[in-house]
Amino acid sequence: MKELVIDLEAEKTEILKRYRALLRASKSTLQKGDKRMIRKAFDMALESHKDMRRKSGEPYIYHPIAVAQIAAEEIGLGTTSIVCALLHDVVEDTDVTLDDIEQEFGKKVAKIIDGLTKISGVFDTNSSLQAENFRKMLLTLADDVRVILIKLADRLHNMRTMEFMPRDKQLKISSETIYLYAPLAHRLGLYAIKSEMEDLSMKYMERETYQFIKNKLNEKKTEREKFIRDFIEPVKKVLSAQGLEADLFGRPKSIHSIWNKMKKKSVPFEEVYDLFAIRVILDSTPENEKADCWKAYSIVTDLYRPNPDRLRDWISSPKANGYESLHTTVMGPRGQWVEVQIRTKRMNEIAEKGFAAHWKYKESSTDSGLDQWVQKVRDMLKNPDSNALEFLDDFKMNLFSDEIFIFTPKGALIQLPLNATALDFAFEIHTDVGASCIGAKVNHKLVPLSYKLQNGDQVEVITSSKQVPKEDWLSFVVTAKAKAKIKSALKEEKRKIAEDGKEILERKLKSLKITYNSENIHKISYFFKLPSTQDLFFNVAKGLIDMKDLKEYQLSEKVVENKPQDKIDNEQLQGLLRNIKAKDSDILLIGEDMQKIDYKLAACCNPIPGDDVFGFITVSDGIKIHRTNCPNATKLMANYGYRVVKARWTNQQELAFLTGLRITGIDDVGLINRLTTVISHDFKVNMRSITVDSDNGIFEGSIMVYVNDTEHLDNLIKRLKTVNGITSVARFDAIDKAS
């Protein structure tokens, strides 16, 4: 057993030394009476923790002092928080009660300490208990965000002083930190604390890798520092020549972020090029901030060539957590890309201290993204329905909910909203890249345009000069930018096609001897139920309305001209009927006297024996048989009632009628085989065509089959539904107009 030799006098001196350092750190926020308050808290903490020691053997009081110091110095919190930080462990670990605290320090402090006490031991072995505790922890957020901020300071200090903990505790605390505290710090804008937490967790969880990268960074330290000096020097000169006061320095990226990059891009350490970022921190006045930042940007990019794709302007639109900065990547003097971050002192303070600094400067912007986020969390906490585990998931999601970060092949960061797809990314890079995008590689794997990106994905866009924006793209893109660009491209495309269509229609009408004028164009549009003349031109250009259709329009016009619609001209109808040649082997009876006359089955609804049907007299194409539930039936009967004739099936069998089935299911090997076996082998039904669409394991197929009648069809449908993997089978009502 190790014997501990303690020099109590030396310890006392050390404690006071640390306490005075704390006072110095909080100096900027101290107001009258604050110092006395802090002293009182310190005395109470010192007294109640007096016989306690940390695992390292040090006096326990070092810990609350350190937490208070982090709160003051690194988060920028004020007196109330410093008092609470000093007292954060007393209620839990000593005889001091909440009432005592309230009596000495007031309601506010007591409430924060209460919050801090409730959330100690948040993580326990039982995962649902852990979730419930975590929920409790976040409930404190509803009262006072300072509780979370002090908790983060507490956690950071524990992480910094973990060497003496047993290994299993180290692992447990590290994983909690990486799972929850680091994302929470990030969301609250505490970048420095977040990075340190990540690095410290990695130090315990991935010891070897951590040490490896750390050594590598040390090896190159001198070289790197020289590079940074050479890079900064000319920038500094021009900045001051132009009257801009600025601090410039190179900051190494965190070990954890370098490691992440190595993993994501699967590259060795040597190929991670951005091991550091250059920061330009400007001393500016509030009204000149933006202009000064851009001035500095202009100076930097005069000296070094920028990569235009990597300009990030978080000054015009700050991140949800309040972060403001101008980022650019430039080609350094030795042919190496260097990231430069330009911001003012105020912006830098927000970048490093996040929430607290944000409060300090808030006056002007009351509706920042961060406030909205806190409000959202509060609302979520009020929802009593969600059980603890679900809640935790929701919350974790919420930590990053409004943004994901995607890497370009060169490692530049692109910020996108949650659920953004590969196509959104392409449009984010450039409109032309989006418009000609045919696919993408995400983490070197080929994915479709609609692929939903995950935070940290690296995306390479594949383009083709033959590609044009498609209508269905609108169904999956989420960014406003992509949507707007696709819409305008489609509109432009349609406009061009319609222009061609106009000429074609003019020629066609001429040959039909129909005058091309606005009245007729409108009439024709109306006849084809099109919302605008542009749609008419478009349909003509696409061949969806051809000469035959136009003739039909012409004839309908003549019929309408000759015969008013409300009067059925029996004579004409009979004349038409007489002209239709009788068929020898007939199965359909048509007309009042149910004659057997020639007919055609309408392609829009493919009637089969057993269906309720009616006949429709087309002047050029004889009688067409439609199902009464045909999508066109209402239109036909409403507009041309006088051309409708009764029709019904006889009992004729053994004839085959074409009908379509739409089948959906879970795609797997052999599904099509099983389907076709049932259709052609079991049912001896002939198929005319099969089209299959498979997307992400979902199978969608259209099969055209020949059946005898509805009963035959119903049986086939019933049987197909029993095929393994099939989720639905339905006859489809109409063939798409386009097909």
Give CA–CA dist 256/210, Å, rounded.
8
Give CA–CA dist 459/734, Å, rounded.
41
Give CA–CA dist 665/258, Å, rounded.
44
Give CA–CA dist 426/414, Å, rounded.
11
CB of 284 to Mn ion, least distance (A): 39
Q: Containing H/E element for 352?
A: helix 345-353
CB of 146 to Mn ion, least distance (A): 15
Give CA–CA dist 174/178, Å, rounded.
6
Closest CA to 253 of 198, 330, 321: 198
Nearer to Mn ion, 120 or 260 (CB): 120
CB of 131 to Mn ion, least distance (A): 22
User: How many residues appear in the chain?
Assistant: 739
For 680-725, the DSSP string reads IIIS---EEEEEEEEETTEEEEEEEEEESSHHHHHHHHHHHHTSTT
Give CA–CA dist 244/221, Å, rounded.
29
CB of 85 to Mn ion, least distance (A): 9
Binding mask 545-574 for Mn ion (x = CB under 5 A): ------------------------------
Binding to Mn ion (CB under 5 A) within 84-123 occurs at 89
Q: Is 92 a catalytic residue?
A: yes
Tokens encoding 417: 């909203």
Nearer to Mn ion, 69 or 606 (CB): 69
Give CA–CA dist 120/630, Å, rounded.
68
Binding to Mn ion (CB under 5 A) within 32-91 occurs at 89
CB of 161 to Mn ion, least distance (A): 11
Helices (H), 475-609: 480-511, 518-527, 533-541, 547-562, 570-579
Examine residue 176 and tell whether it contacts Mn ion (CB under 5 A): no
Nearer to Mn ion, 89 or 535 (CB): 89
Q: Which is catalytic among the residues 43, 47, 92, 230?
A: 92
CB of 119 to Mn ion, least distance (A): 11
Nearer to Mn ion, 140 or 348 (CB): 140
Residue with tokens 């229609």: 505
With contact defined as beta carbons under 8 Å apart, do 471 and 490 qualify?
yes
Nearer to Mn ion, 62 or 599 (CB): 62
With contact defined as beta carbons under 8 Å apart, do 658 and 706 qualify?
yes
CB of 63 to Mn ion, least distance (A): 6
Q: Which is catalytic among the residues 11, 14, 58, 93?
A: 93
**Count of residues engaged in binding Mn ion, rule: CB under 5 A:** 2
CB of 253 to Mn ion, least distance (A): 29
CB of 70 to Mn ion, least distance (A): 11
DSSP state of 401: T
Nearer to Mn ion, 89 or 198 (CB): 89
CA 152 centroid distance within chain = 28
Closest CA to 387 of 176, 135, 138: 135
Q: Using CB atoms, what's the residue nearest to Mn ion?
A: 154
Nearer to Mn ion, 61 or 509 (CB): 61
Nearer to Mn ion, 89 or 274 (CB): 89
Nearer to Mn ion, 109 or 486 (CB): 109
3 state DSSP class of 263: helix
3 state DSSP class of 238: helix
Nearer to Mn ion, 42 or 476 (CB): 42
CB of 177 to Mn ion, least distance (A): 14
Examine residue 154 and tell whether it contacts Mn ion (CB under 5 A): yes
Tokens encoding 502: 């106009």
Helices (H), 369-436: 369-382, 388-399, 422-429, 431-435
Closest CA to 247 of 146, 101, 347: 347
Q: Amino acid letter at 198? A: E
Give CA–CA dist 629/644, Å, rounded.
14
- Strands 337-344 and 326-331: what pairing? antiparallel
Task: Give bridge partners of residue 601 from the DSSP assignment.
Answer: 625
Give CA–CA dist 198/192, Å, rounded.
10
**CA-based R_g, the chain, Å:** 38
With contact defined as beta carbons under 8 Å apart, do 484 and 428 qualify?
no
For residue 101, report the phi and psi dihedrals to the nearest 5 degrees. -60, -45
- Positions that interact with Mn ion (CB under 5 A): 89, 154
Active site residues: 92-93
